Amino acid sequence: MKKFSNVKIAGVSAPLYTALVIILAVVIAMGKLPLNMVGITFMLVVLGHLFYFLGERLPFWNTYLGGGSVFTLLLAAILASTGLIPRSVVSATSSFMSDWGFLDFYIAALICGSILGMNRKLLVKASAKFIPVALLSMVIGFFATGAVGALLGQGFGHSVMYISFAQMAGGMGAGIVPLSKIYAAGLHTDASSILSQLAPATTLGNIFAIIGAIVLARGFANTKFNGHGVLIPVDKDDLKKSEAPLDPTKIGVGMMLAFALFLIGVILNAFIPKVHSYAFMIIIVFVLKALDIVPKPLEEAVVMFNRVIMTNLTHAVLAGIGLSMIDLSSLA
């Protein structure tokens, strides 16, 4: 019992977390979960942290099948498809994620904070070497996937959009989630149905990438081609990140700046609809970082905001995606 009480899930002791889960289960069973920001956020945070915790500790799964992230998505999708989470709650979650802008909120914090938080010297140096290789890899992957898809009768365009691009996106939260919204805006359809088609390629692609990396690492272990964990030779000082103590005022400033950059993307998208607002936001933030335009205090504020959101809401976003945007029949 003492060992159980020492376990912590997202900083909360296991007994207290168990109580939170029971409260959530009772209020859902009674049909009294508030279908608003309070109820949905509580549900997603509690389920998200719990599922991620379990997935990260499952043998084999945590190494080869995507760990906590994929486990959270799948378990949440199972809860929705089996009816353990009522249809009304799933519908409200879908509205919360898309119509109410929770995903936009998360992605704005993710993109702005991640890019502005990078070491500028490392970003510029790595880009010069990484971008040509990445572009060449993407071009080869684009045509190879399309060609195989055409041979199998899936069509070149369909295979590229739903398999090649899905694997290039690399992940869920900052990968196929914004990609599905870009597709939905261009195709005038629902993002959830697109996400269900993108998820298998991303999941399987990551599994094969992990296996391939292990094979390469062992095969080239004692050769000059093995960087031994170092992608770009840099000074150790360049890799150090200074994490200032969280400041409530600075977090608020960071939130405003991140949302302002997102809205600039929305404005530009109004003039050039074929380029999604997310894409504009990424380009703008990258240019600001590369040119070192953002004053350090503002940059630090955005990074603080990013730290708070990533720490507390990443697993909630994954749970929300699983509940409202993953169709298990399409995934199967």
Q: Which amino acid does the sequence have at 1?
A: M
pLDDT at 331 (0 to 100)? 64
CA 122 vs. chain centroid, Å, equals 23
Q: How far apart are CA 261 and CA 306, in angstroms?
A: 14
- Per the listing, tokens 């309070």 go with 38
Collapsing DSSP to helix, strand or coil, 153 comes out as coil
Whether pLDDT at 174 is above 60: no
End-to-end CA distance of the chain: 40
Q: Between these two residues, 249 and 2, which has the higher pLDDT value?
A: 249
Q: How far apart are CA 159 and CA 153, in angstroms?
A: 10
In the predicted model, what is the mean pLDDT of residues 15-42? 92
- Lowest mean pLDDT segment, chosen from 24-33, 42-51, 219-228: 219-228
The tokens describing 237, both together, are: 């000082």
Q: How many other β-carbons are positioned within 10 Å of the β-carbon of residue 307?
A: 18
User: What is the per-residue pLDDT across 258-302, written as a single tens digit (0 to 9) for each?
Assistant: 999 999 999 998 898 777 788 889 889 988 888 888 888 898 999
| DSSP per-residue string spanning 226-278 | --TT-SS---HHHH----PPP-HHHHHHHHHHHHHHHHHHHHHHHHSTTS-HH
- Identify whether the C-beta of residue 176 lies closer than 8 Å to the C-beta of residue 169: yes
User: What is the per-residue pLDDT across 252-263, written as a single tens digit (0 to 9) for each?
Assistant: 999 999 999 999
- Identify whether the C-beta of residue 48 lies closer than 8 Å to the C-beta of residue 319: yes
The full length of the chain comes to: 332
Residue 32 gets which letter from DSSP? -
